[in-house]
């Protein structure tokens, strides 16, 4: 299990499946004015070769990582084990940053309306957010970049890509722009809004105290 990497301030757990460019934006912003008094306590991947794991281990200071393959678990047992690992890190927010796994049951175990995990006896709710390359109500699911026309961060709920949009940005294709150029521009917006949402949600759930009042 990952070890504690932060005893005070905001604690983030980040779930990834690939290169980790959104993760890198979070790493670069932690403990800056963009994400003040914030530390990542876990980066978890469902793919062993995800480059984002290397980004975490080479960060300064290194971020605890975990890898959880889908096999040999059943779907429900996988999501339960995933929730247990995340709970061990005691995050204030779970960020799905390029996480390619449907988490309906994970949401129920970890961040449902009552935050219940009946099979483990844990009953705290943890807010979760997900970055999505689409505008609300359009192109739910994966492989959306060539039809996105925008990007948003939304809350994670049981239904796939149906959570409340928190930040939405239209990114129209410019005249004469190639898909590659558009993708690069879209990702820059993606990095910007994932930082904004990562600050916004904990501000509502657990506002930071002035340093003189921090009792952690």
Tell me the catalytic residues. Answer: 132
Residue 103, both tokens: 């988490």
Question: Tokens 């995933």 identify what position?
Answer: 82
Half-sphere exposure for 194 (CA within 13 Å, toward CB): 31
Question: Please, which residues have CB within 8 angstroms of residue 147's CB and are 6 or more apart in sequence?
Answer: 134, 138, 139
- What is the C-alpha separation between 36 and 39, in angstroms, rounded? 9
Start-to-end CA span in the chain (Å): 23
Helix (H, G, I), strand (E, B) or coil at 40: strand
Helix (H, G, I), strand (E, B) or coil at 129: strand
Helix (H, G, I), strand (E, B) or coil at 167: strand
CA dihedral sign, ordered 145, 104, 201, 59 = negative
């Amino acid at each position: 299990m990952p070890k504690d990497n932060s005893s005070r301030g905001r604690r983030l757990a980040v779930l990834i499946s690939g290169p980790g460019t959104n993760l890198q934006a979070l790493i670069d912003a932690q403990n800056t004015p963009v994400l003040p008094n914030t530390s990542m306590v876990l980066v978890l991947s469902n793919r062993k070769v995800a480059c984002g794991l290397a980004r975490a281990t080479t960060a300064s200071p290194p971020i605890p990582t975990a890898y959880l393959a889908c096999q040999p678990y059943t779907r429900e047992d996988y999501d339960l084990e995933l929730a247990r690992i995340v709970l061990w890190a005691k995050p204030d927010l779970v960020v799905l940053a390029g996480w390619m796994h449907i988490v309906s049951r994970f949401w129920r175990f970890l961040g449902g309306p009552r935050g219940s995990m009946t099979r483990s006896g844990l009953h705290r709710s943890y807010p979760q957010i997900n970055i999505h390359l689409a505008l609300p109500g359009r192109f739910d699911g994966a492989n959306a970049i060539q039809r996105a026309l925008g990007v948003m961060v939304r809350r994670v709920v049981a239904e796939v890509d149906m959570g409340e949009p928190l930040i939405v940005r239209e990114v129209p294709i410019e005249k004469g722009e190639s898909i590659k150029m558009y993708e690069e521009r879209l990702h820059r917006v993606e990095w910007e809004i994932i930082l904004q949402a990562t600050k916004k949600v904990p501000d509502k759930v657990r506002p930071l105290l002035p340093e003189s009042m921090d009792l952690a």
